[in-house]
Amino acid sequence: MAKRELIEKQTEELIAPMIEAHNFELVDVEYVKEGSTKYLRVYIDKEGGITVDDCEIISREFNDVLDREDYIDEAYIFEVSSPGLGRPLKKDKDFARSLGEEVEVRLFKALNKKKEYTGILKAYDAQTVTIMTGEEGQEEDVVFLCGHYEGIDERVLEEIVTDYVSIGDYVLTGGELPAMVMIDAVSRLVDGVLNNEESAQTESFHNCLLEYPQYSRPEEWNGKKVPEVLLSGHHKNIEKYRQEEKIRLTKENRNDLTGGDLNG
């Protein structure tokens, strides 16, 4: 058994009773490397959706277990989060739960010059996954039709428009700015656009959490100091601090990302 599998197995054995005690569901455990950083991730769920408070409870309790057992001999970041809409399907129960829903399939080897396909999950077994794809998402080029003021003649929309996209519940004088937002948000996920792949993995909304606070030089500015833990050089404590800050900021500002309540 590979080192990664051993760590995932031991983590699952240690954390499963804790999660069951809180009446949560253990969805998945993964130990992965993204860029130069290792991540130990635990995904939990419950009826009605998991909240930031739920994740914080498990994170704090299991951090004590990690410190006590100390079975991972390298630096890593520990994260607890809800599965999210884009969670990977690994177990039979995950596939069964997603039958009839839209899924994204990523291939190791290109098929018809593509490695990613989106479609409706129709069937699965130990060897194959069957999805039904339509024409949507198969085009290599996308044209944004930007309305202005009152919009575009309905007859034109009925004739040529395939999809409608909204970036929020507010009104602008034209669709040019939303189109630019879409282009920027999507293009940064294309291989080679960012300096390194890890940059896209550590931003806000990754694993349904906001990003931790950023600090730079000088160490003190206008009487405000950089948190001592960030100057300590203790990588494990730094990552623990950053994870706690991500949870705090998400709870205070966007608790809805995990189905929670901003006032919860």
- Residue count (the chain): 264
Residue with tokens 């479609």: 119
pLDDT digits (tens, 9 = 90+) for 50-97: 888 999 999 999 999 999 999 999 999 999 988 765 667 777 777 887
Closest CA to 52 of 61, 44, 64: 44
Q: How far apart are CA 33 and CA 76, in angstroms?
A: 9
Question: What are the sequence ranges of the domains in the chain?
Answer: 3-87+228-258, 92-132, 154-198
Q: In which band, very low, low, confident or very high, does the pLDDT at 255 lie, cut at 50, 70 and 90?
A: confident
Question: CATH code for 3-87+228-258?
Answer: 3.30.300.70
Instruction: Looking at 70-153, list the stretches that DSSP marks H as alpha helix, in order from N- to C-terminal side.
Output: 92-98
Tell which residue, 163, 240, 210, 225, has the closest CA to residue 52: 210
Q: What are the beta bridge partners of residue 77?
A: 39
Q: What is the pLDDT of residues 168-204, one digit of tens each?
A: 998 898 999 999 999 998 888 777 888 776 666 666 6
* CA 197/CA 188 separation, integer angstroms: 10
d(CA 117, CA 86) in angstroms, rounded, equals: 14
103/120 Cα distance (integer angstroms) = 6
Tokens (6 digits) for 171: 């009104």
Q: Over the stretch 30-53, which tens digit does the pLDDT of each residue have?
A: 999 988 899 999 999 888 888 889
* Nearest C-alpha neighbor of 250 from the set 51, 43, 48: 51
**264 pLDDT tier (thresholds 50, 70, 90):** very low
Dump strand ranges (E) for 58-208.
Answer: 77-81, 102-111, 114-124, 129-132
Q: Can you give the pTM of this predicted structure?
A: 0.52
- Number of Cβ atoms within 10 Å of the Cβ of 82: 24
